[in-house]
Amino acid sequence: MPVSLDNLLVIGISSRALFDLEAEETLFRAEGLDAYRRHQLENENEILKPGAGFALVRALLKLNELTHNQRFVEVVIMSRNSSETSMRIFNSIRHYGLDITRAVLSGGALLTPYLRAFNVSLFLSLHEDDVQAAIDSGVAAALLYQKPDNAFEELDQIRIAFDGDAVIFSDESERIFQAQGIEAFENHERENAMKPLPEGPFARLLKALSFIQNNFRTADGRSAPMRTALVTARSSPAHERVIRTLRAWDMVIDETFFMGGVHKSDVLAAFKPHIFFDDQHGHCERAAPLVQTGRVPSPNRA
């Protein structure tokens, strides 16, 4: 009987995001595909070091170990490698004991068509073109920054932090801010406080995480294996629409920070997320040395 991924949180991750392949990427760019191929074949038994997305993937896969009769997470390696050069990746997966059995090895072809085929909820990569194509196809995706020094610190909970506008919510309000300024933005949000914000590229992912949390949450919420945070530049009066939107979606975010223009870095360092998603390069650059960070590009508009 075929296996269905329809009711699972499916993480698609590039091999370069899961493992540290920066030296190999440099070799490929400098000397080409043949040199890269030879290097991978000659070193296929040399274990790769963890990459930028490793800690998040390992933490999410542990959710499956907490129940005996239900899986919540699947991880799919999505790489432009060929099967010939992929043995080093699979050997490294086995070495670290990662429960990953599925892979897309496209041999240089675009990965985007296979995101829907595997029902991918989140795609992570260090290749901006692939991330942009995923976002444009309607799949939540983020460009990972290089991992900070504390990336593999063990935490009791999976912790994931999100920006609001252009990430969880659409960029409708942010475009008003960019075009007309803070006063127009606040007036717009005040006038539309009772109207839920449109969904952004990560709304579906947040709902999937919320579903998983509800399967573990206790009365006090403290023993849940996952914790989420919203870290947004909004402040009063623009806070009300956010709160009412989450109510309308019937979702609870564990911690919410309305920063009002204050830099997010110190709050993120205190929250210690496995990953933080934001659409602004400046915010990501500040956060990346402290916490693992993924930038969510804006969709290309025709």
Which pair of structure tokens corresponds to residue 234? 């909004």
pLDDT band at 5 (very low <50, low <70, confident <90, very high): low
Largest CA distance in the chain: 63
- How far is 168 from 166, CA to CA, in rounded Å? 6
% of the chain at pLDDT higher than 70: 94
| Model pLDDT, residue 150 | 74
Give per-residue pLDDT as tens, 85-120: 889 999 999 999 999 999 999 988 889 999 999 999
Query: 0.85 cut: is pTM over it?
Result: yes
Q: At what angle do helices 22-31 and 33-42 cross, to 10 degrees?
A: 140
**Domains with residue ranges and CATH for the chain:** 9-141 (3.40.50.1000), 158-295 (3.40.50.1000)
Which pair of structure tokens corresponds to residue 12? 């698609």
Of 232, 240, 235, 237, give the one whose Cα is nearest residue 167.
232
- How far is 150 from 290, CA to CA, in rounded Å? 8
**Cβ 9 vs Cβ 209: under 8 Å:** yes
**Cβ 197 vs Cβ 127: under 8 Å:** no
Of 4-8, 133-137, 244-248, 272-276, minimum mean pLDDT range: 4-8
Give per-residue pLDDT as tens, 122-144: 999 999 999 999 999 999 999 99
Residue 151 has pLDDT above 70, yes or no: no
Give per-residue pLDDT as tens, 177-207: 888 988 898 889 899 999 999 999 999 999 9
Give per-residue pLDDT as tens, 270-293: 999 999 999 999 999 999 999 999
- How does DSSP classify residue 157? S
- How far is 93 from 99, CA to CA, in rounded Å? 8
**Cβ 161 vs Cβ 271: under 8 Å:** yes
Indicate which residue of 163, 165, 278, 279 is catalytic. 163
| Model pLDDT, residue 6 | 66
Of 15, 119, 6, 19, give the one whose Cα is nearest residue 71.
6
**Cβ 104 vs Cβ 76: under 8 Å:** yes
**Would you call 163 a catalytic residue per the annotation?**
yes
CA 258 to chain centre: 21
- How does DSSP classify residue 146? P
